[in-house]
Structures are given as C-alpha cells and as structure tokens.
Amino acid sequence: MSTAGEQQRIPPGQQVTPGFPVLHYGDVPYYRDTTRWDLRVFGLVEEQVLLSFEEFMKLPRREFRNDIHCVTSWSKLDNVWEGVPVSTLMERVKLKPEANYVMLHAEEGWTTNLPLEDFVRDTSFLALKHNGELLSPEHGYPVRMVVPHLYFWKSAKWLRGIEFLAADKPGFWERNGYHMYGDPWKEQRYDFD
C-alpha cells in the first residue's frame, strides 16, 4: 500500500515495486578490467572528447534522489544515486550550434535517443552508485545514464558513447516500436504504426 503522497508520484498505469528488476536486451558485459572502458563524446562537437575510466572517476560527483518508471509498468521510488551531473561533463564539451538531439551508445551497439534539452536537464546524470553500492554488472557497471523524467529505457546501461545530432533518430527500442520521447506522465509507451 502506498500513501497519498506516494500515489501522486506514480504515473498512470504504473505499479510500485520494492525490488529492482533487471531488464535489457543482449548480454551483461562483465568488466574485469576498467582500462578497457572509455567514454566517447562525439558527433556535432567542436572536438571529440574521449575519457578513460581513470579520467571519468576524477570528475566531481554528487548525490541524486529520484523515482524511476519502466515502460513495462514498474516504478521504483526513492532511489539514491551517486553520479556525475551532465552539466559537469558538458563543461568539457563544446557543442556545435546545430546539435539538438542525443544518441546514447551502450555496449554491443545498443542505443537510445533523446532531445538535447532532456539530456542536459539538471536531474540527468551518469551514475556510478545506486543506494550506496557500486552499480552491479546487471544494472550497468561501470557507468549508466539516468534520465529519470523519461521511461527508464532511455537510461542506457553500460554507457560508452554520447553522440550529438541535428535531427532525431530512433535508437534500439525506438526502432522496435517504443515511443521516440517516452514521457511516463503522458504514457508515451509504444508508438506502433
């Protein structure tokens, strides 16, 4: 049972789960060696940025608290994360003026798209820890994106690349019938023709 206050935090058609379900397409990458991880920021930027794991770990982090909403109808409330704010990462990136959209690239070529303004929102971040622990391999270790105001499929696990684009383009699930934007409050779940 949830309190009235909690009820207002739950978008239509969602159910609160106490657990943390694991959902993804493909295999979980197990990083034994983080020297093989890097993050590439590319596309419509003046200069590509390539961050090693060591460099990424030196970026300032902070705590984020949020609720997450999966398109398959579970919501998980009161998450406490530690991560790098997108604004901190963007201090290192000079965008070209045509940049309007973002494609997030994960391991194995998995992708998801979102508008630039949603990516740079002050609630969006690159997560390293969830509820006090390093991310587990299943939840995206070493680094996952978290964009809590959109359905959770936009929060790419095992993030490896951030690409800036002029026009919107569907990512992996968006090519397979998911909504291009994915606002949980508007139930923008699927977008079949």
Ligand X SMILES: Nc1nc2c(c(=O)[nH]1)N[C@H]1C(S)=C(S)[C@@H](COP(=O)(O)O)O[C@H]1N2
Does residue 134 belong to the site contacting ligand X (CB under 6 A)? no
Does residue 77 belong to the site contacting ligand X (CB under 6 A)? no
Locate 19 and state its tokens: 């657990």
Quick note: the x/- pattern for Mo ion over 148-167, rule CB under 5 A, is -----x--------------
The arrangement of strands across the sheet holding 38-43 comes to 49-52, 38-43, 159-165, 101-106, 111-115
Does residue 106 belong to the site contacting ligand X (CB under 6 A)? yes
Which residues share a beta bridge with 76? 68
Cα torsion through 156, 157, 162, 165, rounded to 10: -20
Contact window for ligand X (CB under 6 A) among 17-25, 34-42, 55-63, 84-92: 17-25
Q: Minimum Å distance from CB 168 to ligand X?
A: 18
Residue of minimal CB distance from Mo ion?
Answer: 153
In angstroms, rounded to a whole number, what is the distance separating the alpha carbons of residues 189 and 73?
10
Does residue 153 belong to the site contacting ligand X (CB under 6 A)? yes
Does residue 164 belong to the site contacting ligand X (CB under 6 A)? no
Locate 49 and state its tokens: 């940025």
For residues 78 and 98, which CB has a smaller minimum distance to ligand X in the complex? 78
Quick note: the x/- pattern for Mo ion over 11-40, rule CB under 5 A, is ------------x-----------------
For residues 110 and 153, which CB has a smaller minimum distance to Mo ion in the complex? 153
Q: Which does 155 bind (CB under 5 to 8 A by kind): Mo ion, ligand X, none?
A: ligand X
Does residue 22 belong to the site contacting ligand X (CB under 6 A)? yes
Alpha helices in 64-108 (DSSP H): 86-90
Residue linked to tokens 């994915």: 182
Binding site for Mo ion (CB under 5 A): 23, 70-71, 153
